[in-house]
Chain A
């Protein structure tokens, strides 16, 4: 089955700096890569996703890049703000007849210091 590794497990940045989280996946058949943000006491919330036919996607201060050859993808947050503090999860999904199934990375706890 698919295996997703995520690094770093914790990340502390100064407000205004950039944050980068990296994930690798094992199954080359994976074709969908979403990122989730989880705040305290809440469920994970989808913040951006990318499909395998795209190399990069941006949405305001966040961007995701995908390197299918190397089987890794990254989340970039620019101009970080205190409200970006949360746990971030990457995931990879393999197409299946019964519908895609996500495999999650271990999460990255991001702390933005004012």
Chain B
């Protein structure tokens, strides 16, 4: 596989559930990102990882917990979400901030 792969593509979860989103990049990039895209707001940066170290948390609520075990994999662990957290969650990777490549996203619905 090439590029950035995200799974699952769609996810419906209740407010008391725990689920995880997965992202894998096959580009040899050194940085990975989580973005949130909702209807009313532009792309919102959530987390940044450089060489698997978190370098930015953009004031994201603690019900979102990222994990980056290596430079190729990124997870977003979700628990006790709210309906307003329903959105498209996009993963991206880059080489030192250039050539950002996005995955297709996970469409999350919180019920």
Which residues on A are within 8 Å of B, measured CB to CB? Answer: 32, 34, 36, 41-46, 49, 89, 91, 93, 95-96, 98-107
Q: Are B31 and A99 in contact (CB-based, < 8 A)?
A: yes
Is there a chain A Cβ closer than 8 Å to B60's Cβ? no
SS class, residues of chain B in contact with chain A: strand
Q: Are A102 and B90 in contact (CB-based, < 8 A)?
A: no
Contacts of A42 in B (CB 8 A): 104-105
Q: Are A45 and B97 in contact (CB-based, < 8 A)?
A: no
The A-contacting residues of B in range 63-111, CB under 8 angstroms, are: 90, 92, 94, 96-105
A101 to chain B, nearest CB (A): 6
Contacts of A106 in B (CB 8 A): 42
Which residues on B are within 8 Å of A, measured CB to CB? Answer: 4, 6, 30-31, 42-43, 45, 48, 50, 55-56, 90, 92, 94, 96-105
A44 to chain B, nearest CB (A): 5
Q: Which residue of B lies closest to A103 (CB)?
A: B45
13 A–B contacts from the bound complex (CB under 8 Å): A42-B105, A43-B4, A43-B90, A43-B92, A91-B100, A98-B50, A98-B56, A99-B48, A100-B97, A100-B98, A101-B56, A102-B97, A104-B43
Q: Are A101 and B97 in contact (CB-based, < 8 A)?
A: yes
Q: Which residue of B lies closest to A44 (CB)?
A: B102
Contacts of A102 in B (CB 8 A): 45, 97, 100
Contacts of A100 in B (CB 8 A): 94, 96-98
Other than A43-B104, A46-B101, A98-B50, give 15 A-B pairs with Cβ distance below 8 A: A34-B100, A43-B4, A43-B6, A43-B102, A43-B103, A43-B105, A46-B99, A46-B100, A89-B42, A93-B97, A98-B56, A99-B48, A99-B55, A103-B45, A105-B42
